[in-house]
């Protein structure tokens, strides 16, 4: 195990070095390749049927310009020159030479030929345009390497490490392809290998990270090799895509032009999976420690989004020019990897709720006020060509001053609702709780509805109602996951007697409920008291009914035992005694014999009557054979009728209470008797199952129930027997014909 762990730790430096060398190999190759401005812009659809669109890094008088469509090189069509790319039959193009190339181009609809001199590659212009991307890539690699060193066993740290180092495709990607790469072939395939391998790997690692952050997704336990599939699937899918496109493409030039589209389609699929898994993770997470990690990432995303909006989108829309230069825009994404690092390493360091709250309020407030100021001074000044900027600045300052406080109050309210729910609107919380209780209807759903409503309304991780009885405290209803820190416990009181508690966990371990929240929770506790007490009374009443039924059946069992063991043998012995008297009578023996015989007959009749009473109290077969065998014996007697009874009974069942055994036996016998009398059925199926409770089902293929029917004595008796024990009785028509009975009883054993 230790050797395997050491191999795993050495694997990551090897991955980093491999990706670094792969990315630098293209940089080195580009340094050896002459440059003439014929560069294809990465990320754009540059391949057209007539040629390729170019985007030079530098401007040169009389040279190639952005948007030129190159159709031929030295008089030869570019499609013909690039045909060798497919068959690896490359043209003789010597890198490193300096010379002049004649390009046939289409510029603004006009065809022309331009002689372009080759020079050294302009790395300075490339860095000036993309330095922000390189800084972000290097910073991300340093951050994720540090995180992996600190948390080598953290799966999210491993996935993010691979993600950060796979970004070494960016140097090759920002350089882009050149016409020379299409001619010599090796440059084209070198570019494709670097960008294709690492580009798809970036999104695979991103999807891998979403499955293990903030915690390992359960789907990985159900599909053990899912991580391997995630990394291999995009390459297989892309290859299938390229094979399909090759079949339908009219020529290799069109086929090569679909390369970028295939890559982006595969990555788009992975991005969709990433967002779906992220949303599922957020919906399925309730514990506070994991939520803290998510909040850190949310905070970093908010900073990035605010920076993009404030420094790029808003100024660009109003002033037609962003405040931040385009090369530095990528720096705005740095808060996200920093937040990820904190989420993995030190997510408990700060109270992130307060940080997010302040960022939402004052960040949005700053953006809004600056937007108003920029709009008035910049946009309106340009619109009306006003030269009096001081007047516009004075007007803008006045409008900002007037709207600042109302805007701040509204933003504060929205931020509070986002983080703390409806705590600032106690009337709405109480009204919502009342509406939910009215809609709940059934008593058994009231308490779950209460705790769920309070948890959602105030965004609490855990809410529970605890009852106290002779056996100690028991949780009557709960929502969320119990937290490791102490929660607030509010007593539930009825007539000066505490019968339970309302338990509420704060949003984090170091965040206490405010004074206003405690007042609101006190009002909620008083509203909960009435409903909770009614639920408790209903449960006590049901429990009393069950106890009453159980005691009644136990008493019937005792009476049966007394009648059978005491009175029955006594009467039988009287019959034997009378027989002896019959033999000893000497006077009028004929008459004595006649009387004695009558007495004997009466005694025997009394014995039979007692036996009948015993059977009415409780079928003897239940005690002699048990419930299952008693049912088998009883239904075996029905073979004399035209009804075939199929039994699906367990071989063994636990020892049930007398009430449950009697109810099941009586209901089953009564139901089958009704089938014989009224259903005109040929088959009847009786099944008994024990899961969370006891479930008895009787179905037949008879005429079924009429659409309008009145329940008779038998149906009423069966329903009463089920409800007395806290069970349910359901009767329904089957899809074809016949009737289906479902009786569910709580499983109570002796």
d(CA 197, CA 263): 10
For residue 19, give every residue at least 6 positions away whose Cβ sits within 8 Å of its Cβ, in sequence order, or none. 165, 166, 168, 198
Q: Among residues 671, 687, 677, 641, which one has the least CA distance to residue 739?
A: 671
Identify the weakest region by mean pLDDT among 88-97, 250-259, 290-299, 519-528.
88-97
Helix (H) or strand (E) holding 477: strand 472-480
Confidence of residue 314 (pLDDT cuts 50, 70, 90): low
- 86: pLDDT strictly greater than 80: no
What pLDDT shows up at residue 229?
93
What number is the average pLDDT over the span 542-571?
A: 70
Q: Among residues 28, 49, 36, 43, which one has the least CA distance to residue 93?
A: 36
What pLDDT shows up at residue 204?
92
What number is the average pLDDT over the span 379-406?
A: 52
Q: Read off φ and ψ for residue 741, nearest 5 degrees.
A: -105, 135
Confidence of residue 94 (pLDDT cuts 50, 70, 90): very low
- 624: pLDDT strictly greater than 70: yes
Q: Read off φ and ψ for residue 3, nearest 5 degrees.
A: -60, -40
CA-CA distances (angstroms) from residue 376 to 340, 362, 398, 498, 530? 38, 21, 11, 63, 57
What pLDDT shows up at residue 163?
92
| DSSP-derived secondary structure for 366-431 | HHHHHHHHHIIIIIHHHHHT---HHHHHHHHHHHHHHHHHHHHHHHHHHHHHHHHTTTT-HHHHHH
What number is the average pLDDT over the span 99-103?
A: 82
What pLDDT shows up at residue 522?
75
Burial class of residue 570 in the structure, from the number of CB atoms within 10 Å of its CB (0-12 exposed, 13-18 middle, 19+ buried): exposed
What pLDDT shows up at residue 93?
46
Q: Tell me, what DSSP letter sits at residue 333?
A: G
Instruction: Select the more confidently predicted residue: 177 or 749.
Output: 177
* Residue pLDDT, tens place only, 447-498: 777 777 777 676 677 778 787 776 667 777 777 777 666 677 778 777 677 7
- Residue whose token pair is 């404030």: 310
Q: Are 28 and 35 within 8 A, CB to CB?
A: no
Mean pLDDT of the chain, nearest integer? 75
For the record, the structure tokens of 195 come out as 């960008």
Q: Read off φ and ψ for residue 246, nearest 5 degrees.
A: -65, -35
Confidence of residue 4 (pLDDT cuts 50, 70, 90): very low
Q: Please tell me the total number of residues recorded for the chain in this structure.
A: 750
Cis peptide before 527 (omega within 30 of 0): no
Confidence of residue 544 (pLDDT cuts 50, 70, 90): low
What pLDDT shows up at residue 484?
62
d(CA 616, CA 450): 46
Confidence of residue 576 (pLDDT cuts 50, 70, 90): low
What is the value of pTM for the model shown?
Answer: 0.55
Q: Are 311 and 323 within 8 A, CB to CB?
A: yes
Confidence of residue 21 (pLDDT cuts 50, 70, 90): very high
Confidence of residue 265 (pLDDT cuts 50, 70, 90): confident
First to last CA, the chain: 51
Identify the weakest region by mean pLDDT among 174-178, 207-211, 609-613.
609-613
**Alpha-helical segments (H) within 309-334:** 314-319
- 240: pLDDT strictly greater than 70: yes
- 546: pLDDT strictly greater than 60: yes
* Residue pLDDT, tens place only, 122-172: 998 888 888 888 999 999 999 999 888 888 888 888 999 999 999 998 888
What pLDDT shows up at residue 205?
93
What pLDDT shows up at residue 3?
38
Identify the weakest region by mean pLDDT among 32-41, 188-197, 498-507.
498-507
d(CA 357, CA 295): 11
What pLDDT shows up at residue 734?
76
Q: Are 679 and 739 within 8 A, CB to CB?
A: yes
What pLDDT shows up at residue 623?
77
- Considering the segment(s) 625-745 as one domain, its CATH architecture is 2-Layer Sandwich (3.30)
d(CA 475, CA 468): 9
| DSSP-derived secondary structure for 257-313 | HTHHHHHHHHHHHHHHHHHHHHHHHHHH---HHHHHHHHHHHHHHHHHHHHHIIIII
- 426: pLDDT strictly greater than 70: no
**Alpha-helical segments (H) within 151-168:** 155-165
Rg (CA), the chain: 42
* Residue pLDDT, tens place only, 649-707: 888 788 888 888 888 888 888 888 888 888 888 888 999 988 778 889 999 988 887 77
């Amino acid at each position: 195990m230790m050797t395997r762990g050491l191999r795993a730790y050495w694997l990551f430096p090897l991955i980093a070095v491999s990706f670094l060398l792969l990315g630098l190999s293209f940089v080195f190759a580009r340094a050896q390749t002459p440059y003439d401005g014929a560069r294809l812009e990465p990320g754009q659809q540059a391949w057209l049927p007539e040629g390729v669109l170019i985007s030079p890094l530098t401007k040169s008088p009389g040279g190639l310009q952005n948007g030129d469509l190159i159709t031929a090189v030295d008089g030869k069509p570019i499609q013909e020159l690039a045909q060798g790319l497919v068959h690896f039959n490359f043209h003789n193009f010597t890198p490193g030479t300096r010379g002049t190339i004649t390009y046939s181009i289409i510029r603004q609809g006009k065809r022309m030929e331009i002689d372009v001199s080759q020079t050294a590659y302009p790395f300075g212009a490339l860095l000036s345009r993309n330095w922000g991307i390189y800084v972000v890539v290097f910073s991300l690699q340093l951050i994720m390497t540090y995180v992996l060193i600190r948390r080598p066993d953290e799966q999210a740290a491993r996935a993010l490490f691979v993600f950060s180092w796979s970004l070494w495709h960016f140097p090759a990607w920002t350089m882009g392809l050149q016409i020379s790469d299409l001619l010599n072939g090796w440059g084209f395939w070198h570019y494709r290998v670097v960008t294709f391998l690492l580009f798809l790997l970036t999104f695979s690692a991103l999807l891998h990270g979403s499955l293990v952050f903030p915690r390992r997704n359960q789907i990985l336990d159900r599909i053990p090799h899912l991580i391997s599939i995630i990394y291999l699937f995009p390459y297989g899918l892309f290859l299938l895509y390229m094979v399909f496109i090759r079949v339908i493409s009219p020529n290799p030039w069109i086929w090569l032009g679909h390369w970028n589209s295939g890559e982006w389609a595969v990555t788009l699929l992975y991005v969709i999976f990433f967002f779906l898994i992220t949303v599922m993770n957020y919906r399925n997470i309730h514990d506070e420690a994991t939520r803290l990690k998510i909040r850190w990432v949310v905070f970093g995303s908010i900073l990035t989004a605010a920076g993009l909006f404030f420094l790029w989108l808003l100024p660009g829309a109003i002033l037609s020019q962003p405040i931040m230069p385009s090369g530095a825009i990528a720096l705005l994404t740095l808060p996200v990897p920093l937040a990820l690092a904190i989420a993995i390493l030190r997510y408990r360091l700060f109270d992130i709720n307060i940080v997010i709250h302040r960022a939402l309020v004052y960040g949005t407030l700053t953006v809004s006020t600056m937007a108003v100021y920029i709009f008035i001074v910049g946009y309106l000044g340009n619109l009306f060509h006003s030269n009096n900027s001081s007047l516009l600045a004075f007007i803008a300052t006045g409008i900002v001053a007037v709207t600042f406080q109302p805007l701040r109050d509204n933003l504060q309210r929205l931020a509070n609702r986002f983080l703390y729910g409806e705590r600032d609107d106690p009337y709405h919380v109480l009204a919502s709780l009342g509406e939910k209780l009215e809609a709940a209807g059934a008593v058994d759903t009231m308490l779950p509805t209460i705790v769920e409503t309070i948890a959602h309304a105030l965004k609490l991780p855990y809410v529970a109602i605890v009852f106290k009885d002779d056996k100690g405290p028991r949780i009557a209803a709960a929502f969320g996951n119990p937290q490791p820190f102490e929660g607030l416990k509010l007593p539930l009181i009825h007539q000066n007697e505490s019968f339970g508690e309302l338990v509420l966990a704060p949003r984090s371990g170091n965040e206490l409920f405010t004074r206003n929240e405690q007042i609101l929770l006190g009002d909620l506790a008083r509203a909960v008291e009435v409903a909770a007490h009614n639920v408790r009374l209903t449960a006590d009443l049901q429990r009393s009914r069950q106890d009453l039924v159980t005691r009644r059946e136990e008493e019937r069992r005792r009476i049966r035992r007394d009648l059978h063991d005491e009175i029955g043998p006594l009467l039988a012995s009287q019959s034997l005694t009378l027989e002896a008297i019959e033999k000893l009578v000497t006077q009028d023996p004929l008459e004595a014999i006649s009387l004695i015989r009558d007495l004997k007959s009466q005694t025997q009749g009394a014995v039979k009557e007692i036996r009948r009473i015993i059977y009415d109290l409780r079928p003897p077969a239940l005690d002699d054979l048990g419930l299952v065998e008693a049912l088998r014996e009883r239904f075996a007697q029905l073979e004399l009728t035209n009804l075939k009874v199929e039994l699906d009974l367990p071989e063994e069942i636990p020892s049930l209470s007398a009430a449950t055994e009697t109810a099941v036996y009586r209901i089953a016998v009564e139901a089958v008797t009704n089938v014989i009398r009224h259903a005109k059925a040929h088959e009847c199926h009786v099944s008994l199952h024990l899961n969370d409770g006891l479930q008895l089902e009787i179905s037949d293929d008879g005429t079924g129930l009429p659409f309008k029917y009145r329940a008779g004595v038998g149906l009423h008796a069966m329903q009463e027997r089920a409800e007395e024990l806290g069970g349910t009785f359901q009767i329904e028509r089957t899809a074809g014909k016949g009737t289906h009975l479902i009786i569910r009883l709580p499983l109570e054993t002796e």
